[in-house]
Structures are given as C-alpha cells and as structure tokens.
Amino acid sequence: MPALLVLLVVLALTGAPAAQDLGIRQYKPKSTLVVVEHPVPRAKYPVIDIHSHHPRLTPERWAAIVQEMDALHLQVLVNLSGGSGERLAQGIKLVAESPAGRRMVLFANLDFSDLDQPGYGARAAARLDADLKAGARGLKIFKNFGMSAKRAGVRVPVDDPEFDPIWQTCARHGVPVLIHTAEPAPFFDPVTETNERWLELQVHPERRRPAGEFPSFETLIAERDRLFARHPKTTFIAAHFAYHANDLGRLGRFLDEHPNVVTETGAILAELGRQPRTARAFFIRYQDRILFGKDSYVPSEYPYFWRTFETADEYFDYYRDYHAFWKLYGLDLPDVVLQKLYYGNALRIVPGLHAADFPRVGAVTASR
C-alpha cells in the first residue's frame, strides 16, 4: 500500500487531522520568539479577591481552598454566592467556626421567587436587611437581572424603581452592591467573521445574546447608568470593568460621572493584556477605583493575573484559547497601585475586613 494511502488510513482511524485540515482550535503554533520570562506563581502582596463563587461550601472543601489560597497569597475571598436566609447563615457560620474564620466573607443574593407578587421591593429589602444583620458584607446582583428576570412575563429593567428600597438598604448599612450588568458587547453582535469573540461563541453558543431575545448592550448599560446616578449614596461595584475593558476611555468617563462606583477585574484580563500601555496608565489614574476580582475560582489561573499586573513580560499566553486568541503583555504596575488593587481598595469598601492582616498601603517591602 503506498505510504500516503497508509497515512490517510491512519488519520481516518485515529481522527488526527492532516495539517491542511486543522481546525481553528487545533491550531496551536509554538512561538519562536525568545524574550525574558518572569512567571509569578505567588502574588507580590496579599490579595482580596472581590469576585469569587463558592455556592456549595463544606468544611472539607473550605480547608482545601485555604491551602490553595496560601500558595497564591490570597488572603481573603469574597464569596458572592452566599444566598439568602438560612443558607447564607449556614455559610457564614461554617467559615466563622473554621480555623480560617477571617479568610472569607459572604455577600447576600436576592430571591426572585416572589417577584410577581405586589410589594416585592419592600419584601426583598426586608430580607436583605436581615441578611446584612446576620453578617453578609454586601449584595451581589447576578446577570439575569436586566436580561432574563421577568415580572408578569415582562423583562425587569435594571433601573426599575421597584428595587429602590434594596439599594437604599445597602446605603443605610454602608455595604457595596457588586452588580453584573450585560455581557461583553460582541455577545450581542451578529456572530459573523468580523466578531472577535466568534470562536468563543462557537464553543459556547449559549453565550450569544441575539436581538429580539435580549435587550441590546447599550440598552442595558443606559439602564445601569441611570440606576447608579439615582442612588448616589449607594456604593456600586460594576463587575467585569463595567464591560468597558475594551474601551478604557469610555470606562474613565463613566467613573468620572459616577463617583459612587468602583470596578473590578473579573474575567477581563485578556482585554487588559493586549493594551498594556493604555491599561497601565488607566490603572495609575484610577488607582483608587479598581479592585482585584477573578470570577471563577481556578487556582491555576491566578498566576496569569499576577504576571500581567506585576511584570513587563511580553507576548505570553492567556489561559483560555477560545476566549482570547491574542497574547498578553505585562502592565508592570507600581507597588502602591498593586497594593490598592490587591487589597487597599477592598479594605476601604467592604466593611468588616481586617486591615491588620495586610501591609500598610505605601509600604514597599513585600514577601512572596
């Protein structure tokens, strides 16, 4: 049998693609670029992760997480999946009674089960008041709010006045609202060859937000901004760099217009790493308005954040090929900016954290 035919038969049997038939996810070129590399397995300063999710915490799992945190220099996780009522109380108790009782705090969540019943806002605010008195350190609003949450079959807008008692309750208690509004703008665009998130939307078609089924990106953002303006006494944490990480000029104007709003870095590292000079200047200018957040808790992914924020490395991989097909570059942030990003701003915004567990912001001595 000719050698070529043998090769084709083997490929057919094994499923291995011929070079000319590689799919886009199978094409993983190895760079020949030779540059200095500085991997950072452990953050330079202790970190408060303002955006973490642990909905099913057990004592055994929490003990394992603490060991992982120690290796990464994660000092505190803010568990945004705290729930409400008894579930929240159980989570708070589990952490408090553990040997690492100061290493995690929980945010409460809203219960939409009675959203269709009159007077929802007042009832939800009363439940939240009880949750905050029970030890919740803030409120997390998930992305279904504004996109898929409905009252009597009609979408609830982000700035619905029915929810005003909830935001007022947070202001009265002095706790922040971490709110996820919309999704990356390309998720709302047609999935064509010009959409830079095309690959992700092929791998995860459930992330598409087509017109007619969802409000537009700009509709959601306008509703969110009206909400923030209407409640200037409430501190809001706009999740995921307010989904303006691809347009830092717009994000800067947004922060300038809303002094009660800060933002966080969850799931937008790829956007920052492709514009290192612009992003570095942004972090320096808005150093008091940015908190560190990761989103999904995957210990192996944190060092990509440390390397991007702490080094000037060039052209290194992101951890998800379908999310960003480009390379990352380090921002090489100044120490004081790192300290504010990693812990200083969170200490100021989230009540009940222990400042004594962290170096004084401005100190330059660090230990990995």
The pLDDT confidence band at residue 5, using thresholds 50, 70 and 90, is very low
pLDDT at 9: 41
What is the share, in percent, of the chain residues with pLDDT greater than 90?
88
pLDDT digits (tens, 9 = 90+) for 52-107: 999 999 999 999 999 999 999 999 999 999 999 999 999 999 999 999 999 999 99
**31-357 CATH, one of 1.20.1440.230, 3.40.50.2300, 3.20.20.140, 3.40.50.10860:** 3.20.20.140
Cα angle vertex 309, ends 308, 313, to 5°?
45
Stretch 31-46: mean pLDDT: 96
* DSSP symbols for 11-53: HHHH-PPPGGG--TTT--PPP---------SS-SS-EEEEEE-
Using a 10 angstrom Cβ sphere, with 0-12 exposed, 13-18 middle and 19 or more buried, the burial of residue 307 is buried
What is the share, in percent, of the chain residues with pLDDT greater than 70?
93
Stretch 304-322: mean pLDDT: 95
pLDDT digits (tens, 9 = 90+) for 199-249: 999 999 999 999 999 999 999 999 999 999 999 999 999 999 999 999 999
CB within 8 A of 300, min separation 6: which ones?
A: 319
Q: Is the pLDDT of residue 300 over 50?
A: yes
pLDDT at 30: 87
Exposure string for 110-134, b = 16+ CB within 10 A, e = fewer:
bbbeebeeeebbeebbebbbebbeb
pLDDT digits (tens, 9 = 90+) for 121-165: 999 999 999 999 999 999 999 999 999 999 999 999 999 999 999
Stretch 349-355: mean pLDDT: 97
SS (H, E, C) 292-312: CCCECCCHHHHHHHHHHHHCC
Contact 333, 283 (CB under 8 A): yes
Across all residues in the chain, what is the average pLDDT? 93
